[in-house]
Structures are given as C-alpha cells and as structure tokens.
C-alpha cells in the first residue's frame, strides 16, 4: 500500500533523525526515556490535534511529523520518542503542533530547503520555545535543556557549527524577545491573509 504523505517537515525530520541517531547510538549506553504526555494543541481552524505515539524496540531515532491522517484529522506522529530526552520530546511535539497552529499543514508545501521552507521551520522552532517558556516551566524543560539537547545531537551528527549556532540563535532570540505564542501565531496568520 502506497502512502502519499505530505512532507512538510522533511528538513526537521531529517535533522531530528540525525540528532536522535546520535543520542541513541553515539553514546555507549542505550538509554530509554519515559515518553512524556503530549501537549494540548489546536490548529488554525480550531480543530483539536491528536498525537499518535509510534514505538519500536529496535528504533534508533526519534522524530515527529505533522499532517492530517487518512480521515482528515490533524495529527502529530511521535516516532520512537523513547529514544529522546524529555526536553527534545517536548520540543518536537510543540514544533510539530506549531505547523498545525500556523496552518502550514493545509498550505502548499514550499520547495525543500527553499527560503519559505526554512522560514516555516524557524517559525515552528520559535513557537515551540515560546510555549515551553510560558506553559511548561514546572517540568524542568526550558531554553537551556532544549538548547543542550539540540546542540549535542546536531554536533554529534556532524552538522556544521554555523548551522547549530544559527538554529540556537533563532530559538534564543524568540525566547527572549517575543511575547506569548498565541499572539505570535495571531500576528503570523494576519500577515498571511
């Protein structure tokens, strides 16, 4: 059976795949993490986004994917989260949720690695860190833990230092300079009209 899956998050998935391959195989221990509860998420149309966890005992990486399922339900697929530290799990969830919140899932996908595609990924990163800052302060997941998980994984996966620094700079800038995620999203949706 062939699945026609929108590839909105290809770059992010590839990045996370390499990051998580590093977490899972780049160290001498095979750490298994508790899969954290999924956050609340509604898309730009007010529909509840569902989260589906997909696990495998031989999985080497964690990744997320935002799309509509075969019935049209907005969904985030959580692949192999048991291989990722909680900070990365939360960040992936909120990043993928952001693609639903901004309506990216229902828009034509820009060409891979194009400026529009990279901007959508940066926006999703920004929304994710704003929500972590404002909504998840009690679970010890914060800018520092997300930055550490991303930079460690990206460095171990041999990403260029400039790529790592650029992504962390965007996340840090968003965290320190923008208001609530809801306001950010509202402004973005207004700009897109």
pLDDT single digits (tens) 110-131: 998 899 999 999 999 999 999 9
pLDDT value of position 137:
75
**Distances, alpha carbon 152 to alpha carbons 120, 131, 142, 145, 161, in Å:** 23, 22, 15, 11, 11
Summarize pLDDT for 65-76 with one digit per residue, the tens.
999 999 999 999
169-179 residues labelled b (16+ CB within 10 A) or e (exposed)? ebbeebbeebe
How far is the C-alpha of 150 from the C-alpha of 129, rounded, in Å?
Answer: 12
184 pLDDT more than 60: yes
11 pLDDT more than 50: no
Contact 118, 163 (CB under 8 A): no
Contact 79, 96 (CB under 8 A): no
How far is the C-alpha of 6 from the C-alpha of 20, rounded, in Å?
Answer: 22
pLDDT value of position 20:
41
Contact 84, 62 (CB under 8 A): yes
How far is the C-alpha of 111 from the C-alpha of 169, rounded, in Å?
Answer: 24
Q: What is the arithmetic mean of pLDDT over 57-66?
A: 77
Q: Where are the domains of the chain?
A: 10-192
Summarize pLDDT for 13-57 with one digit per residue, the tens.
444 444 443 343 333 347 888 999 999 999 999 999 999 998 877
How far is the C-alpha of 122 from the C-alpha of 136, rounded, in Å?
Answer: 20
Summarize pLDDT for 151-175 with one digit per residue, the tens.
876 776 678 999 999 999 999 999 9
Q: Which helix (H) or strand (E) element contains residue 10?
A: helix 10-25
pLDDT value of position 59:
62
Neighbour count for residue 73 (Cβ, 10 Å): 13
- Measured in whole angstroms, the distance separating CA 40 from the mean position of its chain's CA atoms is 14
């Amino acid at each position: 059976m062939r699945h026609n899956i929108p590839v909105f998050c290809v770059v992010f998935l590839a990045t996370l795949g390499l990051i998580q391959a590093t977490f899972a195989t780049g160290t001498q221990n095979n750490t298994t993490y508790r899969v954290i509860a999924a956050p609340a998420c509604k898309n730009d149309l007010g529909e509840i986004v569902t989260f589906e966890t997909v696990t495998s005992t031989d999985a080497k990486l964690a990744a997320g994917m935002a799309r509509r399922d075969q019935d049209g339900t907005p969904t985030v697929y959580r692949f192999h989260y048991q291989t990722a530290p909680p900070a990365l799990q939360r960040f992936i969830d909120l990043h993928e949720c952001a693609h639903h919140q901004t309506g990216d899932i229902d828009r034509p996908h820009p060409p891979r690695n194009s400026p529009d595609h990279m901007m959508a990924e940066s926006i999703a990163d920004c929304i994710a860190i704003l929500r972590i800052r404002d909504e998840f302060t009690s679970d010890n997941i914060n800018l520092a833990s997300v930055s550490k998980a991303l930079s460690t994984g990206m460095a171990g996966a041999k990403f260029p230092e400039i790529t790592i620094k650029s992504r962390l700079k965007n996340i840090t800038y968003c965290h320190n300079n923008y208001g609530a995620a809801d306001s950010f999203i509202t402004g973005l949706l207004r700009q897109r009209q």
